């Protein structure tokens, strides 16, 4: 481990060197908001360890968060309370060493996550470039709704086809209740003619109604 340009072999010596560095560089009050990078605290296996002071804990400043961040490995850090970072123990050094040792596995993990993200992006682009499979069905349904709406409003010129029984009943209604002639129009002479009904249960048509 290298601290302040000096190489130390024993963890006990490293503890004293880290406390000296912290006393000189991290004794100031933590920021009220955000975080502050106080520089490289030490180097382990060629990896620099940066002292990141997070925002102050207004209730207890000594409990404010500090990250001993491995430079170049975002998210890989030893998280401590401020008091533990200013007065580190052998346990803190061991945690830093463990983080550095696990870096290769962390790199593989991050690369796998990155590749998964890239694949999700490629899948999303492919899906966006494909037509919606239900577009044709939705378009047909839309036109069918519009057609039915026009018929209900009487805007469609097409006539609904009636069954023979309904057509016959409609004709009987016109015979039984003939429409009065319009001004200048001769009365309907066919109203008095006799016809035989096709509607079950109806008799012979006569003027003014149906004879049963």
Whether residues 11 and 88 fall in one domain: yes
Whether residues 76 and 166 fall in one domain: no
Whether residues 13 and 96 fall in one domain: yes
In a domain, 108, yes or no: no
**Overall number of domains in the chain:** 2
Residue 146: C-alpha distances to residues 52, 133, 139, 157 (Å): 65, 22, 11, 14
Domain extent, residue 209, equals: 162-177+192-212
Residue 128's pLDDT band (boundaries 50, 70, 90)? confident
Name which of 86, 90, 96 is nearest 24 in CA terms: 86
**Whether the Cβ atoms of residue 82 and residue 63 lie closer than 8 Å to each other:** yes
Name which of 105, 45, 92 is nearest 66 in CA terms: 92
Whether residues 76 and 168 fall in one domain: no
Whether residues 6 and 98 fall in one domain: yes
Helix axes 11-25, 90-101, angle to 10 degrees: 100
What stretch of H or E contains 37? Answer: strand 35-44
Name which of 93, 63, 56, 60 is nearest 78 in CA terms: 93
> What is the per-residue pLDDT across 27-55, written as a single tens digit (0 to 9) for each?
888 989 899 999 999 888 888 999 999 99
Domain boundary among 51, 76, 102: 102
**Whether the Cβ atoms of residue 23 and residue 50 lie closer than 8 Å to each other:** no
Q: How far apart are CA 72 and CA 77, in angstroms?
A: 11
pLDDT higher than 60, residue 193: no
Whether residues 93 and 167 fall in one domain: no
> What is the per-residue pLDDT across 165-189, written as a single tens digit (0 to 9) for each?
656 665 665 555 555 555 665 555 5
> What is the per-residue pLDDT across 8-28, written as a single tens digit (0 to 9) for each?
888 889 999 999 999 999 888
Whether residues 89 and 169 fall in one domain: no
pTM (whole model) above 0.75: no
In a domain, 128, yes or no: no
In a domain, 70, yes or no: yes
In a domain, 154, yes or no: no
Domain boundary among 102, 126, 150: 102
In a domain, 54, yes or no: yes
Domain boundary among 60, 82, 102: 102
Residue entry with tokens 């009987």 = 172
Which tokens hold the place of 158? 């097409």
Whether residues 96 and 9 fall in one domain: yes
The whole-number average pLDDT for the span 72-92 is 87
In a domain, 29, yes or no: yes
In a domain, 45, yes or no: yes
Average pLDDT score, the chain: 76
Whether residues 168 and 77 fall in one domain: no
In a domain, 135, yes or no: no
């Amino acid at each position: 481990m290298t601290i302040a340009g000096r190489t130390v072999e024993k963890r006990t010596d490293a503890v004293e060197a880290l406390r000296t560095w912290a006393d000189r560089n991290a004794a100031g009050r933590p920021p009220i908001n955000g975080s502050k990078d106080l520089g490289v605290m030490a180097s382990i296996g060629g990896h620099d360890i940066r002292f990141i002071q997070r925002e102050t804990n207004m209730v207890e400043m000594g409990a404010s968060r500090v990250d001993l961040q491995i430079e170049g490995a975002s998210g890989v850090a030893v998280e401590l309370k401020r008091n533990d970072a200013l007065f580190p123990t052998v346990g803190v050094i061991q945690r830093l060493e463990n983080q550095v040792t696990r870096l290769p596995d962390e790199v593989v993990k991050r690369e796998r996550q990155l590749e998964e993200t890239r694949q999700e992006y490629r899948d999303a682009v492919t899906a966006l470039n494909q037509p919606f499979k239900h577009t044709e069905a939705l378009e047909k349904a839309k036109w069918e709704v519009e057609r039915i709406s026009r018929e209900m409003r009487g805007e469609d010129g097409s006539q609904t086809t009636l069954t023979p029984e309904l057509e016959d009943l409609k004709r009987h209604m016109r015979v039984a209740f003939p429409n009065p002639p319009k001004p200048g129009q001769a009365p309907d002479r066919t109203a008095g003619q006799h016809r035989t009904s096709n509607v079950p249960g109806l008799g012979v048509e006569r003027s003014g109604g149906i004879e049963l």
